[in-house]
Structure 1
Amino acid sequence: MSKILDDVKTTLDFASEEDTGFDSRLLLEIDGALGTLSQLTNVHPEVDVTKETEWDQLLYSGDKHLLRLVKQYIYISVRIVFDPPTGSVLTTLTSSLNNIAHRIIIQKEVYNAKPE
C-alpha cells in the first residue's frame, strides 16, 4: 500500500516526492482531515500521521470502497486548505467534499460496523 503523504503530494502536483519543504504543513493538514473523518467513519484511533503512514492503517475494515472515498476526502480537503483555488473551482471542490462526506457516512452505515 502506498504512503499517504506521497500520494497527497502527487495530487497537489509537487514536482517530486523528494521535495520535503512542505511536509510538516501537509502532515498537519492530513491529520486535520483525519480528525474530521473520525466523525464520519471509523478511523483507527491509534493512527499517528507521519511521512511513513500508509492508507491501509487508517481503517478497521478492509472495505476498499470506503478507502477510495477516504482517499478522495483527504485529497480534496488538503487541496482546499493547502492550495486554495478561487471562484467556481473552490465551490466545486467544496461541493465534492460534502458529497464524499455523505457517501462515507452511507458506506460506513451499510457495510461497516465498528469492531467490539
Structure 2
Amino acid sequence: MADQVNTAELPAAELQILRHALGVGDGGLERSYRNHYVTGEGGADHQHCLALVARGYMVQRAGNAITGGDDLFTVTDAGRAEVKERTPPPPKLTRSQQRYQQFLRYDSGVTFGEFLRGWR
C-alpha cells in the first residue's frame, strides 16, 4: 500500500530511480518536472520499482498502449520526501555563479557577454 512507508535503508539504485522518475537529476537539485517511470517485468529496474512500491515510495499501474505494455510507476509524497531528505543542500554560489544562473533563467537569446553588458 502507498500509505505504509518502510524507512529501511534505501539502496542507491532505488534512490536513483526515484530521482529519475521525478526528473531531478543525480544530485536532486533540479526542479521536478515529471512523475513517472516505465519499466517492464524481468528487468532489474522493475524489481527495484516493486521494492519501492513495497516501501510506500511508488505506486504501480498496469501497462497500456502508451507505455508499450510496460508497468507505469509514480512517486508518492513519501517518495518525494525521501528524495528531498537524501539530497544535500546546494553549495553556496559565488556572485559570478549567481549571475550566470540568472543568465540561464533569462532566456533572451542574447550571449552571456551581451547579458553582462546590460542588454535588456
After TM superposition, the score normalised by the length of structure 1 is 0.28
Q: Between Structure 1 and Structure 2, whose CA radius of gyration is higher? A: 2
Structure with the higher strand share, 1 or 2: 2
* Greater RCO structure (CA 8 Å; 6+ sep): 1
After TM superposition, the score normalised by the length of structure 2 is 0.27
Structure with the higher helix share, 1 or 2: 1
